[in-house]
Amino acid sequence: MEVTLSRDGFVAAVEGILDPAYRLATVMLLDFAAAEDAVHDATLDAWAIHRRGGGEPASFRTWFFAVVATRCRRMRLRRRLPFGVRGEAPEASDLVSDVLLHLGTTARLALFCRHWLGLPDEEVAVILGTTPNRVRDRIERAEERLHAELEQDLGVTIVDSVDTSVDQQQ
Amino acid sequence: MTDGLNQEVQQAFAKLTRVPRPHLSERIRESIWGRAAPGTRLPPGSPAWVGPSLSPQPAGQRSARRRVLVAAALVIAVAAAALLVGPTGLGQRLSAVRAVFNSHLPAATTAARPPSTPAPPDLSPTVPASSEPTAAPAASTPPSPTPAPAPAPAPLPGYSCSAQSGGGGTQSTMTTARVGAQSGFDRFVVEFSNGVPQFEVRPQDSATFGQGTLRGSAGLVVTLKNLTSTGYAGQREFRPGFAVIQEARLLSDSGGAAEWGIGLSYASCFHAWILGGPARLVIDVQH
């Protein structure tokens, strides 16, 4: 199905998902200013694709997030200095956010896609540029690490919900 | 994962991230509307493929056909005018039209912008730096009637090959500087503690500056005034070897003024922007 948006339509569609896109870029880059640059540049990338007739296979939202993630990955590859020294960076204010900050970028992004955006594995896979099976694996491992860190730091054991099959199916 | 922990993760992401500032949306609008119309050729270096799989391009084919039709109509119109008026008369009329166009170039450029694009604010040095993305080009420098130097590519919308200036009157301190490579342009950024001070970006035909020679065959001089006397403690030299930006060096920093030199691999048009939060002077140099 081909959907061609006008400039105004395209900008309106992007503005409708600017908040999660900016948060996604922040989660990947850990730098607020760089995240703004990334979303801005990714929007231009997306517009360049769109105006050439490039389509969004299923969901504009997921496709746009994938473009933002691609732009963030490029920026990470091109950066010369360690993260956090270029601009204002997110800071941990509690144990969970501290653990999230110390996860790998892909694991943090996978958790963000699952728990903040509420996306299914198939759409998370589009954003991460991998397969749904690997997404499941990554999320599982990230959650295990989160559990372990929290249990270690809090000295408590986190008990899973009664219906564990729901968690396993996700 | 437990519902409780799921909520905790959500809350943690809420604390780690924040809503985008309104200026991001405006910046995007400015950039999208500043770009060429759909179907026109992309600037060199634009990503050929960024996202997931792309479908065939019937929309692009339609716009290409439309361009051919418009071009054919223009050719017919010019030929008809030549037949009606005769070669001498047509030449005189074209000269008159060109003269009128040249004399009204800035106004015509502004009028050509779509109505949804905010008008560029006055960027005279007395105006305080705004958190809005402000297009600095040619605010205080009238457009030169002479064409750009031969090696420079045609400027993209928003880019200019002549000196650009702007900034505010408040005192500020340079905190960091960085360089980056993007699709279609390289970027040089200087961050400030308290708004972007008065600045000027001047192109030059060589990479030799008063304080030394940088890599490249052309250059940009970035002059900053009204700085605090604290001095700059960040990185003073970059040698990224990007497509255009070869080197950037802090040439001088004293007496409330500083000068950065940017060595370019070739003379190219550029675009100076002011962004807020943190206050940044952004210079994009076209590939």
Boundaries of every domain in chain A: 1-90, 91-170
Beta bridge partner(s), residue B180: B187
Instruction: Tell me which residue range forms the domain holding B174.
Output: 134-286
Does the beta-carbon distance from B2 to A146 stay under 8 Å?
Answer: no
Q: In which band, very low, low, confident or very high, does the pLDDT at B178 lie, cut at 50, 70 and 90? A: confident
Q: How many CB pairs under 8 A join A and B?
A: 181
Distance CA B22, CA A170 (A): 35
Shared domain check, B176 and B140: yes
Contact status of A3 with chain B (Cβ, < 8 Å): no
Q: In which band, very low, low, confident or very high, does the pLDDT at A158 lie, cut at 50, 70 and 90? A: very low
Q: In which band, very low, low, confident or very high, does the pLDDT at B22 lie, cut at 50, 70 and 90? A: confident
Q: Is the peptide bond before B149 cis (omega within 30 degrees of 0)?
A: no
Determine the 3-state secondary structure of B245 from DSSP: strand
Whether B269 shows a pLDDT value over 80: the answer reads: yes
* Minimal CA separation from B265 to chain A, in Å: 19
**Token output for B265:** 């691999």
Does the beta-carbon distance from A2 to B176 stay under 8 Å?
Answer: no
A130-134, B73-77, B237-241: which is most confident: A130-134
Q: How much is the pLDDT for B60?
A: 44
| DSSP state at residue B11 | H
| CATH (residue range A1-90) | 1.10.1740
Give chain B positions within 8 Å (CB) of A54.
51, 54-55, 57
Shared domain check, B262 and B177: yes
Q: What is the CATH number of the domain that holds B165?
A: 2.60.40.3500
Beta bridge partner(s), residue B280: B191, B275
ipTM of the predicted assembly exceeds 0.90: no
Interface of B with A in 201-230 (CB under 8 A): none
Determine the 3-state secondary structure of B201 from DSSP: strand
Shared domain check, B75 and B217: no
Q: B230 and B248 in contact (C-beta within 8 Å)? A: no
Contact status of B8 with chain A (Cβ, < 8 Å): yes
Give chain A positions within 8 Å (CB) of B180.
37, 75, 78-79
Does the beta-carbon distance from A67 to B51 stay under 8 Å?
Answer: yes
Shared domain check, B155 and B107: no
Shared domain check, B115 and B138: no
Interface of A with B in 102-131 (CB under 8 A): 111-112, 115-116, 126
Shared domain check, B102 and B209: no
Shared domain check, B247 and B210: yes
Give the amino acid at B222. Answer: V
Does the beta-carbon distance from A94 to B12 stay under 8 Å?
Answer: yes
**Token output for B205:** 């035909």
pLDDT in tens, B74-91: 888 877 776 666 555 555
Shared domain check, B257 and B203: yes
Contact status of A159 with chain B (Cβ, < 8 Å): yes
Shared domain check, B279 and B144: yes
| Structural domain includes residue B280 | yes
Contact status of B280 with chain A (Cβ, < 8 Å): yes
Indicate the fold that domain A91-170 takes in CATH: Arc Repressor Mutant, subunit A (1.10.10)
pLDDT in tens, A101-113: 888 999 999 999 9
Q: How much is the pLDDT for B103?
A: 42
Instruction: Pinpoint the alpha helices (H) of chain B.
Output: 3-16, 22-34, 58-85, 87-103, 105-111
Whether B121 shows a pLDDT value over 50: the answer reads: no
φ, ψ for residue B247, nearest 5 deg: -155, 150
Count CA atoms within 13 Å of residue A167 on its CB side: 15
What's the domain count of chain B? 2
Q: B23 and A17 in contact (C-beta within 8 Å)? A: no
Q: Which of A11, A67, A159 sits opposite B50 (nearest CB)?
A: A67
* Minimal CA separation from B158 to chain A, in Å: 14
Give chain B positions within 8 Å (CB) of A47.
32, 35
Whether A121 shows a pLDDT value over 90: the answer reads: yes
Q: How much is the pLDDT for A3?
A: 58
Shared domain check, B252 and B141: yes
Q: pTM for the complete prediction? A: 0.45
Interface of B with A in 35-54 (CB under 8 A): 35, 38-39, 42, 46-47, 49-54
